[in-house]
Amino acid sequence: MPGQGKYSIPEFEDLLFKRNISVEEAGIDPTIFAFWRRQGLIDFVAERKWARLSYVQVIWLKVLLTLRDFGVSVAKLKSIHKHFFVLAYKNQLAKRIFEDIKTDLTRKKDEGTINSIENSKLEEILMVLRDRKLLYVYSREITYFSELVRVCLQSGAETGILVFVDGSVAEYFAGRYRYLDENGEYWPLLEKLPFHPPYIFLPIAYYLDEFLSDEALSKYIPELNILTEDEQLVLREMRDKNVSEISITFENGKPKRFDFTRSGTINDKDAAEIREILRIKNYERITLDTRNEKSLSFKRTRKHVRRK
């Protein structure tokens, strides 16, 4: 398949498809969700089943919401769904990917360069390829859309979806435009798109960023290993409404220290006790500092109001 490249096995691959997010957590109106399911736009959720969604599936729903806000018709949404999902089912994308990985790992095993993790992965893939029911389940998870999200996560390159006026679709990846034919083959478009019909461009990174910023969804980020421990720390502090300033000190290009400045209000009773202990008067400001659990230092600032 031109443009697809080799398929690696990222650590977060399994979690990428783990269904642990509810429709409510995804921020989707249940009525809209039910309508889309009836229209076949969410065919990865079985009828009369309580919907639990994966990370990739939530992003697909966010894409549908964006297109809905642009006024894209259901007929055109179905055309976009066909590009990413129906063609993947038709062309057995999941099986083709598993076959590619099997070939690569079998070669490593024959050469004696395979490690224990890769060997376990090879055994899992061989089991899936022998089990038609299991392969069918994966065919509902691994689609051209999930591959676009995965590639964006792995490469960090700009990746997006182009939706044209007639509902046809193209993809953008690493500075190149490409389209998918009925046989699941990718073909390049022009480097630039002069004189093409108007289109909507949907950058995948936007939806990843929205996922990171959403309080209900962000709890799944540590599972996906997308952020480092330091990045998760900063993200948690950013969500604290009392944090007014974040300062990061770098040493040799790596974060050495994080300083978080919080602001807040102390209630009347506690404020009275503090004023009594520190003898705070009007127009005075106290800055507290502690470096251990045994002592607390403070600096008193007196504001002088000059009378006219």
pLDDT in tens, 255-281: 666 665 666 666 666 667 766 766 666
Tell me the CA distances in angstroms from 96 to 57, 89, 160, 215, one per residue in order: 21, 11, 23, 36
- Cα 76 from Cα 67, distance rounded (Å): 10
Rounded to 10°, the helix 204-213/55-69 angle is 110
Single-letter amino acid, residue 159: T
pLDDT at 44: 82
- Cα 53 from Cα 141, distance rounded (Å): 11
Cα Rg, the chain, nearest whole Å: 26
- Give the torsion through C-alpha atoms of 88, 89, 91, 93, to 10 deg: 60
Global pTM? Answer: 0.66
DSSP notation for 77-97: HHHHHIIIIIHHHHTTHHHHH
- Cα 77 from Cα 170, distance rounded (Å): 14
- Cα 207 from Cα 58, distance rounded (Å): 9
pLDDT in tens, 111-168: 999 998 888 888 989 998 999 988 888 888 889 999 898 888 777 778 899 999 888 8
pLDDT at 40 over 70: yes
- List Cβ neighbours of 130 (8 Å cut-off, separation of 6 or more): none
What's the whole-number mean pLDDT along residues 227-237? 52
- Cα 185 from Cα 290, distance rounded (Å): 63
- The mean-pLDDT minimum among 16-25, 222-231, 271-280 falls in 222-231
End-to-end distance of the chain based on CA atoms, in angstroms? 82
Contact 80, 67 (CB under 8 A): yes
pLDDT at 175: 77
- List Cβ neighbours of 83 (8 Å cut-off, separation of 6 or more): 144, 168, 169, 180
- Cα 8 from Cα 29, distance rounded (Å): 35
When pLDDT is cut at 50, 70 and 90, the band that residue 227 belongs to is very low
What's the whole-number mean pLDDT along residues 203-226? 63
Give the largest CA-CA distance in the chain: 91
- Cα 235 from Cα 211, distance rounded (Å): 12
pLDDT at 223: 46
- List Cβ neighbours of 13 (8 Å cut-off, separation of 6 or more): 150
Tell me the CA distances in angstroms from 116 to 9, 12, 126, 165, one per residue in order: 13, 17, 15, 49
pLDDT in tens, 155-210: 777 889 999 988 889 998 877 888 888 988 888 876 555 556 788 999 998 888 77
